[in-house]
Amino acid sequence: MAQKKIIGTISLAGCFGCHMSLLDLDLKILELIDLVEFNRSPLTDFKKITQHCDIGIIEGGCCNDENVHTLIEFRKNCDILISVGECAIMGGLPALRNQFSLKDCLEEAYLKVPTTVQGNALIPHHEDLPKILHKIYPCHHVVKIDYFLPGCPPSSDALWQSLTNIMSGKSDTLSYQNLKYD
Minimum CB distance to ligand SF4 smaller for 56 or for 92: 92
User: Which lies closer to ligand SF4 via its Cβ, residue 126 or residue 180?
Assistant: 180
Q: Minimal distance in Å, beta carbon 86 to ligand SF4?
A: 4
For the CB of residue 88, give the shortest distance to ligand SF4 in the complex, in Å. Answer: 7
Tell me, letter by letter, the H, E, C secondary structure of 77-120. CEEEEEEECHHHHHCCHHHHHHHCCHHHHHHHHHHCCCCCCCCC
Identify the bridge partners of residue 82 per DSSP, sorted by sequence position: 57, 147
Residue in 64, 134, 137, 67 with CA at minimum distance from that of residue 102:
134
Provide the 10 A C-beta neighbour count for residue 82: 26
- The residue with its CB nearest to ligand SF4 is 17
When the beta carbons of 4 and 147 are compared against ligand SF4, the nearer one is: 147
Binding site for ligand SF4 (CB under 6 A): 14-15, 17-18, 59-60, 85-87, 92-93, 152-153
3-state secondary structure of 52: coil
CB nearer ligand SF4, residue 59 or residue 169? 59
